[in-house]
Amino acid sequence: MIKVSVLYPGGSATTFDWAYYLEKHTPMIRQKLAGALKGVYIDRGLGGGQPGTAATYVAMCHLMFDSVEAFQQAFDAHAPAILSDIPNYTNTQPTVQVSEVKL
């Protein structure tokens, strides 16, 4: 199982429209990647490791696929639409990490 994590850095100038992200962007992702996507998990950053510190990421989206190839094939077909939607809900640029789920 492969997990593609999309990490949205936080910060004092970061904006993130949760309503748009959950009601428009995420359903679009599910629809466009439907054949390959096995699961979606979304986290909202609440705080850092030390009390009173800000979360490193305002949001984290974890997309599950059977393989890297399944992800790449599904994503490549829809990348322009998915990527062009980012400015509709945030002013930050996400970091993407592809991981193998071990447990």
- Find the CATH number of the domain harbouring 81: 3.30.70.100
Q: Strands, DSSP E only, in 14-83?
A: 39-44, 57-65
Indicate the number of domains in the chain.
1
Cβ partners under 8 Å of residue 16, min gap 6? 8, 58, 59, 89, 90, 92
Distance CA 45, CA 48 (A): 8
Walk across the sheet containing 95-100 and list its strands: 39-44, 57-65, 2-9, 95-100
Tell me the whole-structure pTM to 2 decimals.
0.94
Q: Provide the pLDDT for residue 35.
A: 94
Q: Which two tokens stand for residue 18?
A: 């949760």
Domain of residue 20, residue span: 2-100
Q: Provide the pLDDT for residue 94.
A: 98
Quick: pLDDT tens for 7-54.
999 999 999 999 999 999 999 999 999 999 999 999 999 999 999 999
